[in-house]
Amino acid sequence: MILANAELILPDRVMRGAIHVEDGSIAGITEGGAVPLGAVDCEGAHIAPGLVELHTDNLERHIQPRPGVFWPHSAAIFAHDGELASAGITTVLDAVRVGSIPDDGAGYAKYARPLVSEINALSAAGRTRISHWIHLRSEICSETLLEELAEFGSDDRVRLVSLMDHTPGQRQFRDLKKLAQYVQGKKGLSDAAFAEHVARLRALRDKFGEAHEAGAVAAAARIGATLASHDDTTAEQVAASAGYGIRLAEFPTTAEAARACHDHGIAVMMGGPNLIRGGSHSGNVAAEELAGGGWLDILSSDYIPSSLLLGACHLARLWQDLPRAFATVTDAPARATGLTDRGRIEPGLRADLIRLTDLDRTARLTGVWVRGKQVG
């Protein structure tokens, strides 16, 4: 396959040219607007690497579309997979929670091990459109984190383990009113049930917090996964993350924390919805503020798959630098998790590619390829 007469978003520039694909890989790149016989004429559309998503709650939304309503896993995985392909995402780390609170009214039931097995089985059988890997979201405020982490090994395609400390009153939910709005709105808890939920999480943090953090750090090393922090708020918390060997920070909640991350050589990932909406729904720092300060390295779609492409285009307008902006959703997330065979348009890498038009407005996808096979 040849995609010709396209504006290629390369790591350091945009070039009119063609991409030659053989056996699922990029075999070569040629400059110019020529359209060889049999090639696909892209008519000046942009071609970028396929998007790489590290932290998405989208699968959980398909598995539990309403509070107390559970959907068959395989059907949810296929729906999630198709939705991501339609958004230009060709590689995803499916975020799966580990660490449960049995019989908790806020919905902390165990589900990770069977779900990961199904994702990996469907991927191995070639039944998914895009490339699926696993992100284990390690809930520090839980009762079963260590037992659940012990169920995973190096063969489970886990690329990322994150330390998720959702103790009420700190990090993402320093403002308890914001936490109440989120939890009560999502789970339908009464005021009394919410107060009980807060007290229970705080008690769990006091009882298990240190052991769970140490266990998650050890599990990431044992599995061979990248270790990430989550919702760092202070320079002290970032220093603790650096002490664990963390090199990726998910959604720091303050500019102080983001600056400290860069001081420690930790890449900063922020949410596309935050960037597009102009602020955090939890009242934390705006992604655009970090982008303007030079402290944003990676974007995640978080809970809206289409926000990954929209976010890259938003950054391109903000920075006036298309390659730099698209690197936040392609090369940077791939490198952060050791997926060095993708994320750039270069000979020898996977032919995971997307074709785009109208980048100066609301970008429109007109083609998605995974290893040279069109999937969208």
Same domain assignment for residues 145 and 166:
yes
Supply the pLDDT for residue 166: 67
What is the sign of the dihedral through the CA atoms of 334, 313, 164 and 292?
positive
Q: Which amino acid is at 59?
A: L
Alpha carbons 296 and 171: distance in angstroms, whole number = 18
Supply the pLDDT for residue 206: 82
Q: What number of other Cβ atoms are within 10 A of residue 91's Cβ?
A: 27
Same domain assignment for residues 39 and 97:
no
CATH number at residue 68: 3.20.20.140
Same domain assignment for residues 166 and 205:
yes
Same domain assignment for residues 135 and 152:
yes
The pLDDT of residue 78 is above 90: yes
Average pLDDT, the chain: 92
Alpha carbons 71 and 294: distance in angstroms, whole number = 41
Same domain assignment for residues 190 and 279:
yes
User: What does pTM read for this prediction?
Assistant: 0.92
Domain that holds residue 58: 51-341
Same domain assignment for residues 59 and 162:
yes
Q: Which two tokens stand for residue 179?
A: 């936490």
Buried b (16+ CB within 10 A) or exposed e, 290-326: bbeeebbbbbbbbbbbbbbbbbbbbbbeebeebbebb
The pLDDT of residue 168 is above 70: no
Same domain assignment for residues 169 and 318:
yes
Same domain assignment for residues 73 and 136:
yes
The residue assigned the tokens 């958004």 is 87
The residue assigned the tokens 């998007």 is 51
Alpha carbons 364 and 212: distance in angstroms, whole number = 43
Same domain assignment for residues 56 and 169:
yes
The lowest-confidence range among 177-186, 255-264, 363-372 is 177-186
Supply the pLDDT for residue 109: 84
Give the pairing of strands 364-370 and 373-374.
antiparallel
Same domain assignment for residues 250 and 352:
no
CATH number at residue 347: 2.30.40.10
Mean pLDDT of all residues in 180-204: 70
Same domain assignment for residues 273 and 291:
yes
Same domain assignment for residues 178 and 300:
yes
pLDDT band for position 27 (50/70/90)? Answer: very high
What is the number of structural domains in the chain?
2
The pLDDT of residue 172 is above 70: no
